Structure 1
Amino acid sequence: MYQRHFQLQQLPFGLTPDTRFFVPLQQHQDVLAVLKTALNAGEGFIKVTGEVGSGKTLLCRLLLQQAGRDWQLAYLPDPCLTPLELRWALALELGLQYSGNIDPPQLLQLLQRQLMLLAAQGKKTIVLLDEAQALPDETLEALRLITNLETEQRKLLQVVLFGQPELNRRLATYRFRQLRQRITFSSHLKLMSAKQVSAYLQQRMTQAGTDKVVFRSAAIAAISRYSRGIPRLVNVLAHKALLLAYGEGLPVVCARHVRLAALDTEDVSPKPKTLWWYGLLGATIFSASVAVAACWPAGIP
């Protein structure tokens, strides 16, 4: 695509939570510090919330990578589970084997036995639940009941809930008052400031292979404004703006490219008002496609 044009070794603004491109912003570092402190202290429930695209899944993966030697981690990325499916997902993550002959009471006994075995080995069993706002009510309650498994000295299971702000509204209801009282640490992931967006863009470009200043200051300001500091939207706008600059054969990204990218991107706010730019968007992307095709080696489909 545009890697060679901007002297990049790889695409700098992918949408997958790639820990190689982690930018240690202060808010991410703060949340990681809270998580590690709480988990080392043996706290039962910990909650991390943040807007869509703010980097919660990336933090979850970083935590998986930076786990202590005495941590036994169970990562559950799919929240759409029934209570029984939750218990089985946890059991499989902890090394138990599935069997259709095991009924729910037996499964709970096996889970308790496995948790006690891990505790005897000096392990802290920690469940990381991503997209926790989508957990069914019955599954949330089942999760609370599982954490009742404990010895006289410690909890056998710790839980980290990663979720969108909707999770706070659900937990604030009367039904979940017991679970709410068990959350001992809670953090909210803040969005990026304009200054952080600038540092974020440059560091991602550096990590991708170039130290050149590709984004002009006006383009950075436009990305910060349209993205509202949401990392995922920053990535989308930056990627499209780079593609547009490449299509025009320019070495830098201008504010005009960002406006065009914003017109073609959902959830940006505010939308650019100069709608006549939209007509240029299709033509520019077409030019970029023609340029890519022209550079493609002959004979390769």
Structure 2
Amino acid sequence: MDYFSILNLEREPFSNSPDPDFFYQSRQHLDCLQKIELALHLRRGLNVVLGEVGTGKTTLCRQLIRRFARRPEVETHLILDPSFRDGADFLATVVRLLTGKRLPAEASEWQAKEAIKQILFQKGVEQNRNVVLIIDEGQKIPPFCLELLREFLNYETNDRKLLQIVIFAQREFEETLRLHPNFGDRINLLHRLKPLDFGDTRRMIRFRLEKSSASQTPLDLFTLPALWAVHRASGGYPRKIINLCHQCILAMIIQNARRVTRATVRRCASRVVTAREAAGAGRRRAAAWGTAGAALAAAALWALSAEAPRSFLRERLKATDPQRAAVSRDLPLPPAEKALESKAAPPAQEEPPPSAAAEGGETVWPAAGPAEPGPPASSPIATAGASEALAGRENNLDPQRSGPPAILGEVRLRRGETLSGLIHRVYGNYSNRHFRAVILANPAIDDPDRIEAGRAIRLPAIAAAVNSLNKKAWWVKIGEKETIEEALAALRNLPESAPAARLIPRWDAVKGLRFLLVLRQVFSDPETARLQIALLPPPAADGAELIDSWQGALLFADPHPAER
């Protein structure tokens, strides 16, 4: 059954993913956004948004990031899960967010705090940037993180905070605030989200149908009594509204009906409630049978992991062309042609002024020393003691030699595609940095949420911050194209039986700009990778080879999986 063609839709209208394209600006959500934007513009420090499960906190969080992505003077950073092991783990994450670099393993907690002070001073005072830290699932914040966040709020000048903090949390976070009054007293804005009223429920459903429609004619799939029944059954919680409407649409299609009626909503709502009750009973039964089930599963897995399947795969591998299993290594470039070089760390200095670190472009780590109290919060932040450069290597292009292009190419949006989806497919992930660069490269785009099909999108060449693994890894390359359009077309045309693949744009001084198609899975040993090559269906198997190194190349997408 073709779900979209039956209803004349381009995409799923009631998806439970926090897609910014489907953000419905209800009165209370719009009011919350405006209050947060004003507080961040005035640099007031700490802001907290509370709400029950399913009131739209995560969607509101994504929309806030998207709005500020259009402002070059605002720099946003997102922490999705604040369940940190200890204070050092949290500080290392903040440093990585602010600088894109790792905290040296030998750095103490005092050094990390001093480094964050220096970074915020450079960005907030010398560069006049508004740095915003957004934390989702705030009810998971451990007490030691609250104390560190409170210290961050002390980093300020005479007229503004250097770090703005926005926390989205469930209602139990109120108890945390009550138990930590020193932190709660710092709150500038405390906004509580409530369920939608009937008017907003009805408008949200119609907005989502209109947003996903393939025609200009509004879709009227719910009768007015059905809309009222949805509101009553869901209690006005956006997540429950979306899930219930999805079930109602499926029931309407199965019944071959033209519209969702009140009776359909009531039947679907009763099934949802019954399923939840059954799930609770099922969990209790599962606890009783858990031990026996685990033993049976372990025995089955042991039997299936015998040598026979691996022997079969090895025989398949022997029958294939050995060149397809050859390892493709990136040879180092000759010194005269080398376009990438490691940036040298600046020498240690005695008590460098804050401007010295900004001019050098490096983050300076304060040397270990006594934990003396820092300067007053209202004064400029100075770095005390000797310093050493941030550990880790960073590839920089030599400006005297021919370098990579500024633009990867142009791609025309297809029907049903979104700008955020295109960014994720080309760069490997969707971030504020990528969105802002694409918007700046396409000044003709008035509204990123409404881009017509066929519009040419220029994709800037954004160097990726590669997260190197601590162990050797192998990738399976299944194709290589000269243009971004050819590469995306090849991805779209892969057979359904082929494993998931992704795009890695890369540049080097020998081949220039190339677009590699590699499997998403990263392999820990070459034998497993070659076995995967042997099982690839055509045409993905034609010319497939291994890659075990990305050295000598400038990458525009990180080939390694994200760590957090």
TM-score (norm 1): 0.85
1:146 alignment counterpart: 152
SS in 2 for 1:151: coil
2:181 aligned to 177, 181, 200, which one? 177
Q: Give the whole-Å Cα distance in 2 for the aligned partners of 1:63 and 1:232.
A: 19
2:134 alignment counterpart: 128
Map Cα deviations across residues 174-233 of structure 1 (whole Å, 9 max, x no partner): xx1111111011111221111111111111101110612101112111110111000000
1:16 alignment counterpart: 17
Q: Give the whole-Å Cα distance in 2 for the aligned partners of 1:245 and 1:148.
A: 57
Amino acid at match of 1:122: N
Amino acid at match of 1:110: A
Amino acid at match of 1:22: F
Map Cα deviations across residues 73-117 of structure 1 (whole Å, 9 max, x no partner): 111111211322221111111124113232222111111111111
Q: Which one has the bigger helix percentage?
A: 1
Within-5 A mapping of 1:66-81 = 66-67=67-68, 68-81=71-84
Q: Give the whole-Å Cα distance in 2 for the aligned partners of 1:126 and 1:267.
A: 43
Q: Give the whole-Å Cα distance in 2 for the aligned partners of 1:52 and 1:267.
A: 20
SS in 1 for 2:7: coil
Contact 1:214–1:253 under 8 Å retained in 2: yes
The structural deviation recorded for 1:69 is 2.6
Q: Give the whole-Å Cα distance in 2 for the aligned partners of 1:261 and 1:3.
A: 21
The structural deviation recorded for 1:62 is 1.0
Within-5 A mapping of 1:164-203 = 164-173=170-179, 176-203=180-207
2:236 alignment counterpart: 229
SS in 2 for 1:172: helix
Map Cα deviations across residues 149-195 of structure 1 (whole Å, 9 max, x no partner): 2233322111111111111122122xx11111110111112211111
Q: Give the whole-Å Cα distance in 2 for the aligned partners of 1:250 and 1:159.
A: 49
Structure 1 residue ranges (4+ consecutive) displaced by more than 6 angstroms after TM superposition: none
Q: Give the whole-Å Cα distance in 2 for the aligned partners of 1:203 and 1:235.
A: 12
Q: Give the whole-Å Cα distance in 1 for the aligned partners of 2:208 and 2:18.
A: 13
In the alignment, structure 2 segments of 5+ residues that lack a partner are 277-495, 498-564
Amino acid at match of 1:38: A
1:6 alignment counterpart: 7
SS in 1 for 2:3: coil
The structural deviation recorded for 1:254 is 1.4
1:217 alignment counterpart: 224
Amino acid at match of 2:159: Q
Deviates more, 1:137-146 or 1:110-119: 137-146
Map Cα deviations across residues 38-92 of structure 1 (whole Å, 9 max, x no partner): 0111101111111111111111111111113321211111121132222111111
Residues 1:114 and 1:238: Cα distance change in structure 2 (over 3 Å)? same
2:249 alignment counterpart: 242
2:108 aligned to 103, 112, 115, which one? 103
**Within the alignment, does 1:114 sit opposite 2:98 as a pair?**
no
Residues 1:193 and 1:267: Cα distance change in structure 2 (over 3 Å)? farther
**Within the alignment, does 1:35 sit opposite 2:42 as a pair?**
no
Q: Which one has the bigger strand percentage?
A: 2
2:56 alignment counterpart: 55
SS in 2 for 1:107: helix
Q: Give the whole-Å Cα distance in 1 for the aligned partners of 2:61 and 2:176.
A: 21
**CA-based RMSD:** 1.9
Amino acid at match of 1:194: F
TM-score (norm 2): 0.46
In the alignment, structure 1 segments of 5+ residues that lack a partner are 270-299
Residues 1:198 and 1:153: Cα distance change in structure 2 (over 3 Å)? closer
Within-5 A mapping of 1:153-168 = 153-168=159-174
1:277 alignment counterpart: none
Q: Give the whole-Å Cα distance in 2 for the aligned partners of 1:266 and 1:117.
A: 54
Amino acid at match of 1:24: Q
Contact 1:233–1:268 under 8 Å retained in 2: no
Q: Give the whole-Å Cα distance in 1 for the aligned partners of 2:128 and 2:45.
A: 17
Q: Give the whole-Å Cα distance in 2 for the aligned partners of 1:267 and 1:172.
A: 37
Q: Give the whole-Å Cα distance in 1 for the aligned partners of 2:172 and 2:25.
A: 26
Identity fraction in percent: 28
Amino acid at match of 1:123: R
Map Cα deviations across residues 100-145 of structure 1 (whole Å, 9 max, x no partner): 2322221111111111110110011111011111111222122112
1:274 alignment counterpart: none
Map Cα deviations across residues 265-300 of structure 1 (whole Å, 9 max, x no partner): 25999xxxxxxxxxxxxxxxxxxxxxxxxxxxxxx8
